[in-house]
Structure 1
Amino acid sequence: MTASFSAVLRAIGVAEDELPNVGQLPGDPGSGAGRNPGLLGRLQLPSLSREQLRWLKPGPKRISAIVLLGGILYFGIIGRNRYQVTSDFIVRLPQAPNSVTPSLLGTVLAGPTMLGSLEDGRFLAVYLTSPEVMKRVFVKLEPEVSYARAGFDPFAGMPTPANFDQKLAFFRRQVTVVPQDLTGVIQMTTTGLKADTAYKLNRLLLDEAENFLNTSNQNISRNQQRFAEQELDVARQRLAKAQLDLASFNDAQGDVNPEARAAATSSYITALETRLVDLQVEEGRLRRQFLDPSSPEVIYVTDQIIELKNQIEEERSKLVGPDAMNFNQLLNQSRNLTTEVAFAEASVKAAQLAADNSRLESQRQLKFLVLLSNPEVPAMQSLDWRWKGFLSMVGLILVGWGMASFVLGITRRQ
């Protein structure tokens, strides 16, 4: 009996002298009649064979069996039910470009390519799992109640109390957004511990996705429209300033159009020069007719020529002279101001056209969410997580078993 109990103690790794207040069994050598028999005397253990004692020692097979049994119990019995809700949608433009052939669904669902929806799906995958969305959704779902831990399952549900990082990590585990590369369809799956919780989460996220598309498109369109209108206001202010400067210049010069005035003066000088040439021809004829140059006829024409030359010089000095009527500088200033006015008018026309195009383009580029499959309240629990978790555990056991066998094999060879 003592030998069997000592073998049990050695099997579990405990020495007899480590037990407090342990006495010898009756009949053992050295046992006194008046001594307390102690723990060994009070224990009545059956005799165990060596094969039975071998089962008390931990081994890889027993550990694997225990882990596998625990996995079967958790994933088959203890684990709480999970419910999943899936919805499919796509992001499309209201009108298809002329270069794209409409799809079978018609021009309403026709978009440029599925790449646009795929790109929007990637944006939505990040946005729908963002902290901002988590805050708004969790306020409506009350996760302390809908995702609270209950029963014997230590893993299902959100820990209480939970900080912000734990809530965010838990929320992201409940939401999966996967854009399909071939079709551009966006598939969103939500998980809940109750059927109605998973359904509400899916509906709330669909509303968030639609609001995100509408808000982002409206903000972009609003910013573009505001920028175009600001540019239009700047162009109009520039035109008003240019027109005011030109009017002030004309008022200062006392003329509506200095260039027309300069052209009239030039024409007047040209007419005087033509008259001068005629008088000079007439003077030559009279000098040949009258041999005396002091004759009244010749003097009369000569005086006209002298007076006409003086008049021409005076008119020319008004055009290019250094006095206040220097038409060259006035014309340069007038032409610069006129050019500024013309450029400002062209800028106003271009800005007005850009504003109109921006408004029309913003309405044409508005995106909207098209539901291909509406979410429904699940009637049965989802078994995916059970068999996936069990298979993952079996895979880990096999990998651990292989690594342990490899290490033990190397150790035994050494």
Structure 2
Amino acid sequence: MLVAGVAYFGVIGRSRYQVTSDFIVRLPQAPNNVTPSLLGTVLAGPTMLGSLEDGRFLAVYLTSPEVMQRVFLRLEPETTYAKKGLDPFAGMPKDAPFDQKLAFFRRQVSVVPQDLTGVIQLTTTGLNPATAFELNRLLLNEAENFLNTSNQNISRNQQTFAEQELENARERLAKAQQALAAFNDSQGEINPEASAEATSRYIAGMEAKLVDLQVEEGRLRRQFLDPNAPEVAFVTDQIIELKQQIDEERAKLVGPDEKNLNQRLVKLRNLQTEVGFAEASVKAAQLAADNSRLESQRQLKFLVLLSNPETPSGQSLDWRWKGLLSLVGLLLVGWGVASFVLGISRRQ
């Protein structure tokens, strides 16, 4: 078995070629509390954590069936990854079903976010240098397109929500203003509040005059022994008439009918408060819409390529050494287990 493994990994196995590129996902403006690094703010703390999270998303997206259909199938894997020679493992079987193509594609792509730096390492494998390079380049384009599409969707959704809130606030303001105007029109007066204040002042004036008349009536009663004297009766009639007039004016302020000035004044102030609140809501919604545009710009993410993919000049030998060492380790484990079992059986 060891001889067969050496023969496969040393001679029979087809050459594999690997292309690696490194990139990071960053914001156009790092937070204010981020300490600059050697690369500006690219590898700083919060930005690094964001790139690490985006790298995990990209690891799933770049190996998804949609990307496989757009990228991998463009490389004509039936030809570029076809089985050839004596190697029974390398390559994709002819007329392979979709699931098998997807599994094979995922074995050729490795997306590894680096925990310490946030750098995302993209490694692609091909059976010839050109295929490995082209696959890496196409996947980088897919990663950049994915970020651009995500930016557009996030910005559009935020802006749509903010504009909808602004439109709702404007509609509320328009309804409040219409209700206030309709109320004023129904009252037939420009300013009910001023009317109520004028009525209150008028009543206060009549009450002051009533006090003066009552004082005068008392003086006349003391002066004339006959309570029905013309002078006393004249003042008494004035007092009765003034009291009646005061009661009528008070009824206009607090009476139960539709002419109640106090009730109209309360309704007026409620409508004015609603208009004021609606105006404040419009201002807040406008400010939120403006801030949403700025925040969308701050949240835009873009790909920073740290190392470009290059066409490999030679085959990758890592898989050969790893495969051979794994085989040797497996044989050693098997030999150890077999020796243990034989030792137990001999003791028995």
Q: TM-score, normalised by structure 1?
A: 0.79
SS in 1 for 2:92: coil
Q: Report the residue type matching 2:77 in the other structure.
A: P
User: Does residue 130 of the first structure (1) align with residue 64 of the second (2)?
Assistant: yes
2:8 counterpart residue number: 74
CA contact (8 A) 2:16 2:125 kept: yes
**Residues 109-148 of structure 1 mapped to structure 2, 5 A cutoff:** 112-148=46-82
Offset of residue 108 of structure 1:
7.0
Offset of residue 314 of structure 1:
0.5
Structure of higher CA gyration radius: 1
CA contact (8 A) 1:88 1:185 kept: yes
CA contact (8 A) 2:27 2:47 kept: no
User: What is the alpha-carbon distance in structure 2 between the residues aligned to residue 255 and residue 147 of structure 1?
Assistant: 88
1:376 counterpart residue number: 310
1:241 counterpart residue number: 175
CA contact (8 A) 1:92 1:111 kept: no
**Deviations 1:243-286, CA, capped at 9 Å, x for gaps:** 11121122122223323322221122112112222222233334
User: What is the alpha-carbon distance in structure 2 between the residues aligned to residue 392 and residue 127 of structure 1?
Assistant: 30
Q: Report the residue type matching 2:177 in the other structure.
A: Q
Offset of residue 376 of structure 1:
0.6
User: What is the alpha-carbon distance in structure 2 between the residues aligned to residue 283 and residue 79 of structure 1?
Assistant: 130
User: What is the alpha-carbon distance in structure 2 between the residues aligned to residue 353 and residue 308 of structure 1?
Assistant: 58
User: What is the alpha-carbon distance in structure 2 between the residues aligned to residue 353 and residue 106 of structure 1?
Assistant: 32
Task: Find 2:104's aligned residue among 150, 170, 179.
Answer: 170
- CA separation of 1:137 and 1:316: change in aligned 2, threshold 3 A: same
CA contact (8 A) 2:24 2:303 kept: yes
Task: Find 1:156's aligned residue among 90, 95, 110.
Answer: 90
CA contact (8 A) 1:238 1:344 kept: yes
2:215 counterpart residue number: 281
User: What is the alpha-carbon distance in structure 1 between the residues aligned to residue 327 and residue 39 of structure 2?
Assistant: 45
User: What is the alpha-carbon distance in structure 1 between the residues aligned to residue 321 and residue 230 of structure 2?
Assistant: 135
1:18 counterpart residue number: none
1:302 counterpart residue number: 236
Offset of residue 400 of structure 1:
1.4
- CA separation of 1:271 and 1:103: change in aligned 2, threshold 3 A: farther
Task: Find 2:188's aligned residue among 233, 243, 254.
Answer: 254
Larger RCO of the pair (alpha carbons < 8 Å, separation 6+): 2
User: What is the alpha-carbon distance in structure 1 between the residues aligned to residue 257 and residue 309 of structure 2?
Assistant: 89
Offset of residue 184 of structure 1:
1.0
1:202 counterpart residue number: 136
User: What is the alpha-carbon distance in structure 2 between the residues aligned to residue 256 and residue 167 of structure 1?
Assistant: 80
Which has the higher mean CA deviation after the structures are superposed, 348-357 or 285-294?
285-294
Task: Find 2:251's aligned residue among 308, 317, 320.
Answer: 317
**Deviations 1:152-200, CA, capped at 9 Å, x for gaps:** 2111111111112111111111111111111111111110111111111
Q: TM-score, normalised by structure 2?
A: 0.94
User: What is the alpha-carbon distance in structure 1 between the residues aligned to residue 323 and residue 331 of structure 2?
Assistant: 12
Offset of residue 364 of structure 1:
1.1
Q: Report the residue type matching 1:325 in the other structure.
A: K
Q: Report the residue type matching 2:21 in the other structure.
A: S
User: Does residue 224 of the first structure (1) align with residue 163 of the second (2)?
Assistant: no
Q: Report the residue type matching 1:221 in the other structure.
A: S
Offset of residue 120 of structure 1:
1.1
Offset of residue 126 of structure 1:
1.4
Q: Report the residue type matching 1:274 in the other structure.
A: A
CA contact (8 A) 2:42 2:48 kept: no
**Residues 18-57 of structure 1 mapped to structure 2, 5 A cutoff:** none
Offset of residue 109 of structure 1:
7.0
Q: Report the residue type matching 1:393 in the other structure.
A: L
Task: Find 2:119's aligned residue among 155, 177, 185.
Answer: 185
SS in 2 for 1:112: helix
5+ residue gaps, structure 1, are 1-66
1:350 counterpart residue number: 284
Q: Report the residue type matching 2:58 in the other structure.
A: L
1:402 counterpart residue number: 336
